[in-house]
Chains A and B, each alone.
Chain A
């Protein structure tokens, strides 16, 4: 059973950055890559972007371009999400999930447990 394990909750001040990690099984990391999805309080699900574990290619939702950076560590099959210029609107539960904006595996069938990011002064 594929399992995605995320890092713990983060508290950040407005204007700062946050980095969240997601460790994936090697097969998921290499064959699917990982997306990031968030849910702000009282809001719906929102896709942020995707990274290929195989070659590091990325695809960012237009809304987050310039503020979002996805990277990966192939030695530990871990992907990282860094979001800069935080505002209170970025307070949300952030999920990594198996699914890609390319090809037929666009749906998210495996999810991390979620990481709460709170932006507060």
Chain B
């Protein structure tokens, strides 16, 4: 099973600052890597898929990069509403499965 490790566990930043979240895979996942934002009481929100493609309706301040085993989610110029827990997620070819990272809590 491919394990995703996210860092840091918690990130405390101020509005207007830049957030950099990391996700490392225990083996290559190519570019099959997605990022989600999850706020209390809400369903998770897809931000990025295929490592760098923004999902529909996602502001341009969210960007993703990486391939293979190292991935980064960058939030340029944080807004107050960007608080929440951010998860990365991948799919493995063999055996076919899906795993999530343990999450990074972003505090604004």
Using a CB–CB cutoff of 8 Å, the interface residues on chain A facing chain B are 35, 37, 39, 44-47, 50, 59, 61-62, 95, 99, 101-102, 104, 106-109, 111-114
CB-contact partner of A47 in B36, B46, B56, B100, under 8 A: B100
Q: Which residues of B contact A113 (CB under 8 A)?
A: 43
For the complex with contacts A102-B91, A102-B96, A109-B56, 13 further pairs of A-B residues with Cβ separation under 8 Å are A35-B98, A47-B97, A50-B98, A101-B91, A101-B92, A101-B98, A106-B90, A106-B98, A107-B50, A108-B34, A108-B36, A108-B89, A111-B43
Q: Which residues of B contact A114 (CB under 8 A)?
A: 43
B91 touches A44 (CB 8 A): no
B101 sits at the interface (CB 8 A): yes
B43 touches A44 (CB 8 A): no
* CB-nearest residue of chain A to B43: A111
B97 touches A109 (CB 8 A): no
| CB 8 Å contact bits of B87-105 with A (1 = contact, 0 = none) | 1011110011111111100
Query: In the complex, which residues 10-49 of chain B have their Cβ closer than 8 Å to any Cβ of chain A?
Result: 32, 34, 36, 38, 43-44, 46, 49
Given the known interface contacts A101-B91, A109-B46, A111-B43, the answer about A44 and B102 at a Cβ–Cβ threshold of 8 Å is yes
B55 sits at the interface (CB 8 A): yes
A106 touches B103 (CB 8 A): no
B25 to chain A, nearest CB (A): 14
Given the known interface contacts A44-B87, A45-B38, the answer about A59 and B99 at a Cβ–Cβ threshold of 8 Å is no
B1 sits at the interface (CB 8 A): yes
B53 to chain A, nearest CB (A): 9
A106 touches B91 (CB 8 A): yes
A65 to chain B, nearest CB (A): 11
> How far is B105's CA from A58's CA once the two chains are assembled, in angstroms?
32
Given the known interface contacts A108-B36, A108-B89, the answer about A47 and B98 at a Cβ–Cβ threshold of 8 Å is yes
B34 touches A106 (CB 8 A): yes
A45 touches B96 (CB 8 A): no
A107 touches B102 (CB 8 A): no
> How far is B91's CA from A50's CA once the two chains are assembled, in angstroms?
12
Given the known interface contacts A44-B102, A109-B55, the answer about A59 and B97 at a Cβ–Cβ threshold of 8 Å is yes
